Amino acid sequence: MIQLKSERELEKMREAGRHVAEILLLLREMALPGVTTGELNEAAAHELGARKLESSFLGYSPGGAPAYPAVLCTSVNEEIVHGIPGDRVLVEGDLLKLDFGVIFSGFHGDSAVAFPIGEAPEPVLGLQEATLRSLYAGVEQMVPGNRLGDVSNAVQTAVEGAGFTIVRDFVGHGIGRSMHEPPQVPNFGRGGRGPRLRPGMVLAIEPMVNMGTAEVEVLDDGWTAVTADGECSCHFEHTVAITQKGPQILTQVAGSH
Q: How far apart (Å, rounded) are the C-alpha atoms in residues 43 and 83?
A: 16
Number of helices (H), then strands (E), belonging to the chain: the values are 4, 15
Average pLDDT, the chain: 97
The domain locations on the chain are 7-249
Q: Which CATH architecture has domain 7-249?
A: Alpha-Beta Complex (3.90)
Amino acid 104: pLDDT: 98
Distance (Å) of CA 124 to CA 84, 128, 142, 180: 22, 6, 28, 30
| Residues 31, 96 contacting (CB under 8 angstroms) | yes
pLDDT tens per residue, range 94-110: 999 999 999 999 999 99
Q: How far apart (Å, rounded) are the C-alpha atoms in residues 178 and 164?
A: 32
Residue 48 has pLDDT above 90, yes or no: yes
pLDDT tens per residue, range 107-123: 999 999 999 999 999 99
Residue 66 burial by CB count (10 A; 0-12/13-18/19+): exposed, middle or buried?
A: exposed
Amino acid 63: pLDDT: 84
Q: Using 50, 70 and 90 to split pLDDT, how confident is the model at 254?
A: confident
Among 150, 180, 182, 179, CA closest to 2: 182
pLDDT tens per residue, range 167-215: 999 999 999 999 999 999 999 999 999 999 999 999 999 999 999 999 9
pLDDT tens per residue, range 124-163: 999 999 999 999 999 999 999 999 999 999 999 999 999 9
What's the sign of the alpha-carbon dihedral 187, 139, 123, 96? Answer: negative
| Residues 257, 236 contacting (CB under 8 angstroms) | yes
Q: ∠ CA(190), CA(188), CA(24), 5° rounding? A: 140
Amino acid 10: pLDDT: 98
pLDDT tens per residue, range 19-34: 999 999 999 999 999 9
Amino acid 157: pLDDT: 98
Amino acid 64: pLDDT: 83
Range 242-249 average pLDDT: 97
Residue 69 burial by CB count (10 A; 0-12/13-18/19+): exposed, middle or buried?
A: middle
Amino acid 195: pLDDT: 97
Percent of the chain with pLDDT over 90: 96
Amino acid 257: pLDDT: 81
